[in-house]
Structure 1
Amino acid sequence: MSPFFVMSLLLGLIFGQTASLCAPSEYTIHVEKRECAYCLAINTTICAGFCMTRDSNGKKLLLKSALSQNVCTYKEMLYRTAVIPGCPHHTLPYYSYPVAVSCKCGKCNTDYSDCVRDRLRTNYCTKPQKLCNL
């Protein structure tokens, strides 16, 4: 084998491993309830990044298992609970949210993930904001 071919092969393998940049990323969730006086800003981690996918022009000719549309999704996560301030006594002030511990490239599981990218900005407060201190 020529040295050029070996170097090309090694660079291709290295790039293939680094091209999947799926990892926990810092994210701020804004949570509010109609009955409560404040909006709570919660700092957490979510899975975000790039995953290698395969998509063929001959989709109709191949089995669905031959196509790979991987997304950056949770490998391991835990839930934490925060208290929304300014809630009346008759309202439950608790909000549970996921924290990404580790991530992987894989199929999107709609049981715990939003698999559609929403282009509308919905993560904002309409009430005075408080920062969640854990």
Structure 2
Amino acid sequence: MSHQKLHIASCYALLLCYTLLSLSHCVDGRSKAPIINLKHFIGCAVREFTFMAKKPGCGGLHITTDACWGRCETWEKPVLDPPFIESYQRVCTYNETRFVTVQLPNCTSDIDPSYTYPVAIRCDCGVCLTSNTECITSV
């Protein structure tokens, strides 16, 4: 698939994601938040995520941030030469982030209490990059 077709497919996925996230409906004349069935959602979106920040020698801290979440379309095409298949495996990945640093509580005097984590600004379906995502390359 050419780079241009892949770009067009990515733009279509973004448009679909934006449309799904921006839809709202009215009940009794009042605007309601969009209802999206996440079991059937195909695409990549920014979603709120809470985790426990930990570091040896410090107490833990619950952090709520924005992270990338979603399922991206993948496909395979048979080819005549080994490995006899051409795979297009895209993942929901970070395209734009900012970093936030917080101070963990109860750190021992020899430990820096700073803890830095990413906040997702924009997420897209794309090639898995080991620089910011855990990628499974073989089974």
TM-score class normalised by the smaller sequence: 0.5 to 0.7
1:51 to 68, 72, 87: 72
The reply on whether 1:60 has 2:83 as its aligned counterpart is yes
- Of structures 1 and 2, the one with the larger relative CO (CA 8 A, separation 6+) is 1
SS in 2 for 1:79: strand
Write the distance in 1 (CA, Å) between the matches of 2:71 and 2:93: 10
1:102 to 108, 116, 122: 122
The reply on whether 1:23 has 2:45 as its aligned counterpart is yes
Cα displacement string for residues 93-122 of structure 1 (whole angstroms, at most 9, x for unaligned residues): 011101110111000100111225xxxxxx
Paired residue type of 1:87: C
SS in 2 for 1:72: strand
| Greater strand proportion | 2
Write the distance in 2 (CA, Å) between the matches of 1:60 and 1:34: 45
Q: Provide the alpha-carbon RMSD of the alignment.
A: 2.6
Give yes or no for contact 1:75–1:102 (8 Å, CA) kept in 2. Answer: yes
Residue of structure 1 equivalent to 2:132: 112
Give the unaligned 5+ runs of structure 2.
Answer: 1-11, 18-40
**TM-score normalised by the chain length of structure 1:** 0.63
Displacement over 3 Å in runs of 4+: 17-20, 56-59
SS in 2 for 1:112: coil
Q: Which has the larger radius of gyration?
A: 1
Give yes or no for contact 1:20–1:105 (8 Å, CA) kept in 2. Answer: no
SS in 1 for 2:110: coil
Write the distance in 1 (CA, Å) between the matches of 2:54 and 2:73: 36
Paired residue type of 2:104: I
The reply on whether 1:85 has 2:96 as its aligned counterpart is no
**What is the CA-CA distance between 1:57 and the residue it aligns to?**
5.4
Residue of structure 2 equivalent to 1:32: 54
**What is the CA-CA distance between 1:28 and the residue it aligns to?**
1.1
Pairs aligned (count)? 99
